[in-house]
Amino acid sequence: MANDKNPIAQQDPELWKAFVAEQDRQQNTLELIASENHVSPAVMAAAGSLFTNKYAEGYPGRRYYGGCENMDTVERLAIDRAKSLFNCEHVNVQPHSGSQANQAVLLAAMNPGSQFGEAEQREKAPDAPVRTPGDMILSLHLDHGGHLSHGKNVNISGKWFRVTHYRVDRETGRINMSEVRALAKECKPKLIITGASAYSRIWEWDKFAEIAREVGALLMADIAHIAGMVAVGLHPSPVAVSDFVTTTTHKTLRGPRGGITMCKEAWAKKIDSAVFPGLQGGPLMHSIAAKAAAFGEALRPEFKAYQQLVLDNAKALAESLVAKGLHLVSGGTDNHLMLVDLRKGYPSVTGAMAEAWLGQAGIVVNKNMIPYDERKPMETSGLRIGTPALSTRGMGGDEMRKVAGLIDRALASAGDANALGKIRGEVLDLCKQFPLHTH
């Protein structure tokens, strides 16, 4: 990508500098952010293609603009391939992001209102008129691995709906299904949301479905993190038992940034109207072309081998970190990610410090709240680590064991520049042995 003949280099050297720097960063650092990946050259080409030039409001065969015949071909390919991948009845491939894929479900199925019930509204503002309370969501708490768009109070999902959260068990670090059942009976949710952005264990979709049936709730699974594994059958699929399944397309699925919303046929019309015209205008057709390309790749046998490598690498990395004395929430992982609890092992090191030190050494991770964290979100006591990107580079078990050693040394360095510089050198050697072929 970064060569001087590139039109950006020729036309806009100031902007081009950032491209060159980013290519260098991606080539020469170890990307361990669990939600990131490196797309293939074909997906990259589709994302930066002539499909960016076209408006195509509407859906295939029913557009509000002329000249959409090739848009229809591309969108139908994306739809058909997503259906084959996930075995879903209906899919909308237009959401610009995972949050919008989730919002489509809220808009289609939920009545908004106050985030508080009547009694709480009266207590908080005795003189204000009482508003209709919004429908109730039951979802995993953000600090326990959930997502902003699952009902956090600063997000539209938490501002317009009432929310009750389930948490992970303090001892096991796993979701306790008896607690979920008890909460569901108590709060009577309209929608139960499953799925997470920092949970390393298998989701028990069948048990959630049973609870949803018991309390008359709708069920939504946000599989953004584990979509790649679900697509190839290496994680159970929630599709058959859920009313809605949403995902981003850029994490383990290794496509362009974006989202999709799947649902049962009975919800198809409402979901489509919620995405357009409810939430969005013109679909990003270059992104939909790239989704089609990525879904095509995911349907090939090599993609299953890749997902198996992601899982094997996560296991190897987790075991090596534990062998070095680090503590992982729930003790390990069943998927592509793990959550390091720094309180045991490195009690004086915050997630923010660890993220900065590892960054200096060329190891890119993100600080993360851990369940029952006493520290604030910008500080945290945890680090989230994932293997999708290193697996795309072709790294395997030996490299994971090496990476675990580098992480542990960076945490033990107390930020010493010499120690981090030495690790940086070893990171560079590793990156050179496993060059990225995606640029």
Q: Exposed e or buried b for every residue in 196-212, given b needs 16+ CB within 10 A?
A: bbbbbbebbbebbbebb
Active-site entry in 83, 174, 188, 257: 257
Find the shortest distance in angstroms from Cβ 191 to ligand DSN.
Answer: 18
Looking at the Cβ atoms of 114 and 194, the one nearer to ligand DSN is: 194
Place of tokens 């039951």: 138
Token reading at 324 = 């070095």
Active-site entry in 36, 54, 55, 409: 55
Active-site entry in 167, 190, 251, 424: 251
Find the shortest distance in angstroms from Cβ 123 to ligand DSN.
Answer: 34
Q: Is residue 438 within the footprint of ligand DSN (CB under 6 A)? A: no
Looking at the Cβ atoms of 222 and 399, the one nearer to ligand DSN is: 222
Contact 238, 192 (CB under 8 A): no
Active site residue 14: no
What are the Cα distances from residue 184, in Å, to 80, 87, 247? 35, 28, 24
Answer left, alpha or beta for residue 383, where phi above 0 means left and psi between -120 and 50 means alpha.
Answer: beta
Active-site entry in 222, 243, 355, 399: 222
Active site residue 222: yes
Active site residue 124: no
Answer left, alpha or beta for residue 167, where phi above 0 means left and psi between -120 and 50 means alpha.
Answer: beta
Place of tokens 């019309």: 269
Active site residue 57: yes
Active site residue 201: no
Contact 197, 145 (CB under 8 A): yes
Find the shortest distance in angstroms from Cβ 255 to ligand DSN.
Answer: 14
DSSP helix/strand/coil, 58: strand
Q: Which positions from 205 through 224 interact with ligand DSN, judged by CB under 6 A? A: 224
Residue 283, preceding bond cis, omega within 30 degrees? no
Instruction: Check the CA dihedral 282-284-289-291 and report its sign.
Output: negative
Instruction: Give the end-to-end CA distance of the chain in Å, rounded to a whole number.
Output: 5
Size of the residue set binding ligand DSN (CB under 6 A):
5
Q: Is residue 98 within the footprint of ligand DSN (CB under 6 A)? A: yes
Find the shortest distance in angstroms from Cβ 34 to ligand DSN.
Answer: 6
Find the shortest distance in angstroms from Cβ 101 to ligand DSN.
Answer: 10
Q: Which positions from 109 through 168 interact with ligand DSN, judged by CB under 6 A? A: 147
Please count the other Cβ atoms lying within 10 Å of the Cβ belonging to residue 300.
10
Find the shortest distance in angstroms from Cβ 143 to ligand DSN.
Answer: 14
Q: Is residue 35 within the footprint of ligand DSN (CB under 6 A)? A: yes
Active-site entry in 248, 252, 261, 333: 248
Q: Is residue 237 within the footprint of ligand DSN (CB under 6 A)? A: no
Place of tokens 């008129």: 129
Among 27, 157, 197, 261, binds ligand DSN (CB under 6 A): 197
Contact 185, 159 (CB under 8 A): no
Active site residue 402: no
Which residues are the active-site residues? 55, 57, 222, 248, 251, 257
Interface residues with ligand DSN (CB under 6 A) are: 35, 98, 147, 197, 224
